[in-house]
Amino acid sequence: MSSSAAGPAELVFTRVFEAPRELVFQCMTQPEHLTHFWGPAGTSAPVEHITVDPRPGGVFETVMINDADGSRYPTQAVYDEVAPPERLVWTEAHSGMTVTVTFSDLGGIRTGVEIRQVNVPEFARSPEAQAGFLTSLDRFAGYLAALSAGPGTRRTPPQRRRTRALPRRSRRSAGTWPCS
């Protein structure tokens, strides 16, 4: 897909997490949780570089740091919609990409998450960027598994679930997440 094509680019990622919806939502809105999984493998997001004000008009800012060379990747966004524990929507200032994260209660301790990114810049549509994004979802799954296991409990890491990124074109709607 080229950036000159008509209509904005869109990516959709889905994942099922073995954790209650309320916990999954909290992890996406609290710096003390985000620091454990925000960004692709090989990066970190120190808690002191995460600002979350989860309300319409509130800021969502992170700095991911490359673990190998210290390169910094700041993201600044503004929340467009916050509907606990069902939906988060934010728009990134630097790219204009909008991210919508929808949390679906699948019963018991299972939560479906759909991340819809609209107006995705060309660099973020590459297979490498999408693969990096998927590793952030793997990190999120591992973090949720550790939380569910509780302190002092060893738990086998979850099996990687197949997650797909679906490139498409669409009219502007809302949404982007973990590592843009």
State the pLDDT confidence band at 150, using cuts at 50, 70 and 90: confident
Residue 62 resides in a domain:
yes
DSSP 49: G
3-state secondary structure 51-87: EECCCCCCEEEEEEEECCCCCEEEEEEEEEEEECCCE
CA distance 143 to 178: 14
What's the structural domain count of the chain?
A: 1
pTM: 0.80
Which value, to the nearest 10 degrees, does the dihedral of the CA atoms of residues 97, 79, 66, 23 take?
Answer: -120
Residue 132 resides in a domain:
yes
Residue 1 resides in a domain:
no
Q: What is the pLDDT of residues 151-163, one digit of tens each?
A: 754 444 443 333 3
Q: What is the pLDDT of residues 47-102, one digit of tens each?
A: 999 999 999 999 999 999 999 999 999 999 999 999 999 999 999 999 999 999 99
Residue 89 resides in a domain:
yes
Q: What is the pLDDT of residues 86-142, one digit of tens each?
A: 999 999 999 999 999 999 999 989 999 999 999 999 989 999 999 999 999 999 999
Residue 175 resides in a domain:
no
Determine the structural domain holding residue 42 and report its residue range.
9-169
Residue 174 resides in a domain:
no
CATH number at residue 32: 3.30.530.20
